[in-house]
Amino acid sequence: MKQTIFGVLFFTFYSLFAQVEITNIKLPKIILSEHDSILSSSVDRMAPVMSQFLGINIKDSLDLNKKKDFGKYEEINRISDSISIYVDANNTNFRVHFWSSIPPPPPLMENKRYSKLKIENLSAYNELMAKKWDSMAVAWEKQWDIETRQHQIAYPVYIFNNSSKKTIIQNPVGGRINKDLYVILEGIDKNGEWQPINYWEQFSFVCGTGHRNYVLNPKSFLIVAIKKYSGHYRTKLRVKFKNFDDIHYSNVFDGYIDYCQFDKHEVLEDLNLRFSYRGVEYLRERVNRTFLDK
């Protein structure tokens, strides 16, 4: 029993105070928040990426017990070649709560588009749907207090601005998380090729109200967490990060997944079902965004 307690204290101490020096860049300390349970993640198909914004313009340390600061937006020029990305896969004690945002409410129905539904009183229908949406939002909020203390095993991902000037990091519109990045995990399949093992999920409609990109200061970090999977297939992994038209890759590290995570069939079928009516070019753009291709 004493050995178990000592081991827990050691890993807690290490995660709070240890600093790792990688290629002459010292990673900030991450002080973890309290939790009730730690969950591992296993899936039986390719799943949407789960990432979580943790902090921006971090230099020495990041305390996850404090309120997040998303930074202030400024109109500055983006520096495309100053970004490096690193995954600390050696931090096996790392875990966070992944916040899920409430999706934007559906758009109001219009007579022209939805005439086939034969809704007699369109305004009454829209009012009813709005009330239903509000009740769902209240139920979700009640669950947040409970779920906040449910953490999941994850990788800390450090995005570093190695420039002497500020640069812009893209905050996507239309993802499943309020504050997000274009990041996914890739792995090496049995053919020795890099393939996505998850995808960036897109809604059919979005609300861009109040949207702002991130401003990353010189020699500073933007830190996110990305879900760590378990499975029986051991392979090499890396994080793929798209910032506007630039593609960045992290360091390569070992990990375990389920081999079925390489299967894109269901994802592509869903995209075709939802977006093919917009035309071939639009569908291709959606597929590229899903897997962070140009």
Average pLDDT of the residues in 229-236? 95
Is residue 135 situated within a structural domain?
yes
User: Do 37 and 128 reside in the same domain of the chain?
Assistant: no
Query: Which whole number is the average pLDDT over 123-147?
Result: 67
Top-confidence residue, 161 or 117: 161
Do 139 and 157 lie in one domain? The reply is: no
Percent of the chain with pLDDT over 90: 49
The verdict on 188 and 242 lying in the same domain is yes
Look-up of token digits 């809704």? 119
Number of domains in the chain: 2
Task: Classify residue 230: in a domain, yes or no.
Answer: yes
Decide if 14 is inside a domain.
Answer: no
Lowest mean pLDDT among 109-123, 143-157, 182-196, 205-219: 109-123
pTM over 0.95: no
Residues 169 and 249 in one domain: yes
Query: Are the C-beta atoms of residues 45 and 196 closer than 8 Å to each other?
Result: no
For the stretch 188-220, pLDDT in tens is: 999 999 999 999 987 655 555 567 889 999 999
Instruction: Report the mean per-residue pLDDT for the chain.
Output: 81
Integer Cα distance of 46 and 128 in angstroms: 35
> In this structure, is residue 130 part of a structural domain?
yes
146, 149, 152, 157: CA torsion to nearest 10: 120
Same domain, 177 and 213: yes
Residues 30 and 124 in one domain: no
Q: Tokens 């979700």 label which residue?
A: 140
Mark whether 203 and 81 lie in a shared domain: yes
Does residue 52 sit in the same domain as residue 67?
A: yes
Q: Is residue 124 located within the same domain as residue 43?
A: no
Residue 92 and residue 162: Cα distance in Å, rounded?
A: 26
104 is written with which tokens? Answer: 């934007």
On the question of pLDDT at 118 being above 80, the answer is no
How far is residue 260's CA from residue 258's CA, in Å, rounded to a whole number?
5
- Asked whether residue 11 is domain-assigned, the answer is no
71 and 39 belong to one structural domain: yes
pLDDT digits (tens, 9 = 90+) for 77-108: 888 788 999 999 999 999 998 876 555 555 55
Which residue in 43, 162, 35, 25 sits closest to 88, CA to CA?
25
**Per the domain annotation, does 176 fall within a domain?**
yes
Query: Alpha-carbon distance 186 to 194, whole Å?
Result: 6
So what's the pLDDT on residue 24?
A: 72
Residue 25 lies in a domain: yes
The set of residues, in sequence order, having a beta carbon less than 8 Å from that of 283 and lying 6+ positions away, is 271, 272, 275, 276
Domain presence at residue 32: yes
Domain that includes residue 121, residue range: 105-145
Burial class (CB in 10 A: 0-12, 13-18, 19+), 105: middle
Percent over 70 (pLDDT), the chain: 71
pLDDT at 73: 83
Spatial CA neighbour of 232 closest among 259, 209, 268: 259
Residues 182 and 237 in one domain: yes
Instruction: Report yes or no: 157 and 250 within 8 Å, Cβ to Cβ.
Output: yes
Is residue 86 located within the same domain as residue 131?
Answer: no
pLDDT higher than 80, residue 135:
no
